[in-house]
Chain A
């Protein structure tokens, strides 16, 4: 295992960790909106839906990093690094954030592995997001005691979570990845090889 981990280049790891930081910050920002919506839905007992709408943001780091770097293990490790960053930032969800990062990353990684790391398009990314959403939901049935809630409510939650995952970690990440590739900044990664790169502007220009 250690020998496998040693094959990771510092460049890739920093890239994955920084994407983790960006999306952890995005999540924390949209969390405030989710909290406001959740509070508004509280009297109806539907507060969970406030967070379900933004749940897909959680998986964005994994799918975007995998889309850019296109190596086995990237989705899993990025999601774990992102969760470690969340832990460093101070997370109200508790210490199991690293465990949830592992489960979510595993979902996305499984889909990319099923495509043998050859299919990098909107479909594979949407499926990766949905797989992450499904796996983490199974874990939450136990960890968040969701099993004590009504099945109708849970099906509703899962549906919204799937839609959120498809939009954020599928469609938005695909667009973000392509836009990044066009700027040329990721030309040293796998995505850069197939990208239609225009003029590259350096910071000094």
Chain B
């Protein structure tokens, strides 16, 4: 998964997510989740890391199971639940549908996020999806500044503590200086980038171009054509 072109991977996994949203089939959702986990492990993501990422997802999924179970639409909605895939106990199936939906979307989301290099992704979006240069630069600049923001937030928090002022982890008192600092950074960064020629729309060459290979096309065809056709035939 790591070697796939980010733009192709994004389109493919987005197509699978939208397909699952349309199918409303818990078994398809759970299959997508399990396949995503398998691919993540095969891509070298450590089990411990994966479990840490999945903990909030599992909690949210459990919450959605109970919501689906206790608050089924039944005949109150314009669309009856049994017109979807529900068979047997519709309350239980609705709970499983909601639970599996959370797991599937998160699995596919992590499959993309944890196997994709961020800078390579923006460059691929720029090349293959024609993301305008100015937005690509803006995104990369903002992404590059993120670690500095985290550090600044910690510093401000420490300064408040040193003065004996108690602040909550997410506090307006901490956010206000961060916002001021962020606006200043954005101005300074844009001036610095413009001075290095980053703002012009002139065509430029790449030291390592982002290309689409045969494997990327195969993956995209599988996710965008073969899977929907299979789903259509089996439903």
Distance A46 CA – B62 CA, assembled complex (angstroms): 11
Distance A84 CA – B97 CA, assembled complex (angstroms): 28
Whether A203 contacts B184 by the Cβ 8 Å rule is: yes
Q: List the A side residues contacting B81 at CB < 8 Å.
A: 148
Whether A6 contacts B182 by the Cβ 8 Å rule is: no
Q: List the B side residues contacting A17 at CB < 8 Å.
A: 138-139, 141-142
Q: List the A side residues contacting B79 at CB < 8 Å.
A: 147
Residue-by-residue, is B160-173 near A (CB-CB < 8 Å gives 1, otherwise 0)?
Answer: 00000000011000
Asked if B59 is at the interface of the complex by the 8 Å CB criterion, the answer is yes
Main secondary structure of the interface of B (DSSP, over half): helix
Distance A196 CA – B122 CA, assembled complex (angstroms): 39
Residue of B nearest to A172 (CB): B172
Contact partner of A18 (CB less than 8 A), chosen from B13, B105, B108, B186, is B186
Residues in A23-48 with C-beta less than 8 Å from chain B:
25-26, 29-31, 33, 35, 38-39, 41-48
Asked if B18 is at the interface of the complex by the 8 Å CB criterion, the answer is yes
Distance A19 CA – B134 CA, assembled complex (angstroms): 16
Contact partner of A13 (CB less than 8 A), chosen from B97, B138, B178, is B138
Asked if A94 is at the interface of the complex by the 8 Å CB criterion, the answer is yes
Residue-by-residue, is A162-191 near B (CB-CB < 8 Å gives 1, otherwise 0)?
Answer: 000000000000001001100101101000
Whether A147 contacts B73 by the Cβ 8 Å rule is: yes
A164 CB to nearest chain B CB (Å)? 15
How many residues of A are counted as interface, with CB atoms below 8 angstroms from the partner's CB atoms?
A: 70
Q: List the A side residues contacting B185 at CB < 8 Å.
A: 18
Asked if A198 is at the interface of the complex by the 8 Å CB criterion, the answer is no
Asked if A111 is at the interface of the complex by the 8 Å CB criterion, the answer is no
Contact partner of B24 (CB less than 8 A), chosen from A6, A41, A42, A145, is A145
Whether A94 contacts B106 by the Cβ 8 Å rule is: yes
Contact partner of B72 (CB less than 8 A), chosen from A18, A25, A29, A148, is A148
Whether A92 contacts B97 by the Cβ 8 Å rule is: no
Asked if A115 is at the interface of the complex by the 8 Å CB criterion, the answer is no
Of A116-124, A129-137, A149-157, the one contacting chain B is: A149-157
Chain A to chain B contacts (Cβ below 8 Å), 20 pairs: A6-B134, A6-B201, A10-B134, A10-B137, A11-B191, A13-B137, A14-B189, A16-B138, A18-B182, A21-B149, A22-B149, A35-B59, A38-B60, A45-B71, A92-B110, A95-B10, A95-B13, A95-B112, A96-B14, A149-B71
12 new A-B pairs (CB below 8 Å) besides A10-B190, A96-B14?
A17-B139, A18-B142, A22-B175, A25-B149, A29-B169, A39-B62, A84-B139, A88-B139, A145-B21, A145-B24, A149-B72, A180-B179
